[in-house]
Structure 1
Amino acid sequence: MNASKNSLFIFQSALILAVSLCLLFISNLTWAEALPVPKDRVILTIEGNINQHNVSNTAQFDLKTLEKLPMQTIKTTTRWTNGEQIFQGPSVRNLMQMVQPGGSQIKATALDGYSTPWMTIAELENYGVILAIKKNGNYLRIRDKGPIWMMYPMHSYPGLKTDLSTQYKLIWHLRSLQIR
């Protein structure tokens, strides 16, 4: 009788452990920190096929929220700046982790309505593209191509400097990202 009680106890313990591990695994897959609602002026809206929202069906960010993300630095030259510049901002990769896109393509739109062609999110992540909010330590203002300038690390990939399709993706006055 003791052997059957021990076997039952071991079976129940193993079952409880298995169920607990499954629940823990599932909760880690579906849990994501809620996006904070912007308290100040919204400078970036991400819309379309995203799984995390904070305002209606969009993810909206003010400057303070963007600054809470890990800042990446790109030291590079562009055809619109004189000499090497230091750009800082969150990476597209970190933003995508926050909004959990359901699609694989992205389009960027500026304040004046200019938009990039559809790009793959993987391209932006693989190149380490950032959404620069600072240049040489100063916040980008509208007259400085801000408040956000999508920046590729041109210095790390010399072929990008002469690739016109990449030049068109260095969108300044960035207002929104659309995911599909």
Structure 2
Amino acid sequence: MAAPVLVLRTAAGRSWRFTLADLRELPAQHLRTTLPAALGLAGASDWEGVPLSRLVALTGATPTTLTLTALNGYSVAVPAQDLARFDPVLAYRRDGHEITVRDKGPLILIYPFDRHPELNRQVYINRTIWQVHEIVLE
């Protein structure tokens, strides 16, 4: 049995565990965008993953903030309004290939930088967190 790559928790203590196979079974979203140079992933890429809003909808929760935590303990707070406004994707593939831990995977939160020029600010660059393994809905 595959190990979970993502744990999703609510403030009330309910939790869900997802393997990569579980995430791939959910309806995927494709996004082509160029990330800001500060993120170290040069050039335009085709990203595939689950819209963060879809994962939240699975829980039935209505959070105001999502705290995403990386494998190294780094965490970011993402306002829930970002989900409706920008529809960021929790990507597990880049250019058709699964994203390895070495390449900042297995999950990276990707904003559609090319569609929304206002995302090219440090606050959104900071929210583009890689190696996501836990999300807490608050």
Tell me the TM-score normalised to structure 2 length: 0.91
- Output one character per residue of 1:44-85: Cα deviation in whole Å (capped at 9) or x when no partner: 0011236xxxxx831110011100111111111112222111
- Pick 1 or 2: higher relative contact order, CA cutoff 8 A, min separation 6: 2
> In the alignment, what sits opposite 1:87?
47
> In the alignment, what sits opposite 2:124?
166
> In the alignment, what sits opposite 2:16?
59
Unaligned runs of 5+ in 2: none
Unaligned runs of 5+ in 1: 1-38, 51-55
2:103 maps to 1:141: no
Q: Distance in 1 between matches of 2:87 and 2:63?
A: 19
- Output one character per residue of 1:89-127: Cα deviation in whole Å (capped at 9) or x when no partner: 0101111111121432111100000001x3322212320
Structure 1 runs of 4+ with >4 Å offset = none
SS of the aligned residue for 1:146 comes to: coil
Q: Distance in 1 between matches of 2:48 and 2:62?
A: 27
> In the alignment, what sits opposite 2:87?
128
Q: Which amino acid aligns with 1:164?
A: Q
Greater radius of gyration (CA): 1
Between structures 1 and 2, the one with greater helix share: 1
Between structures 1 and 2, the one with greater strand share: 2
Give the superposed CA RMSD: 1.5
Tell me the TM-score normalised to structure 1 length: 0.71
Aligned residues: 135
> In the alignment, what sits opposite 2:134?
176
SS of the aligned residue for 2:68 comes to: strand
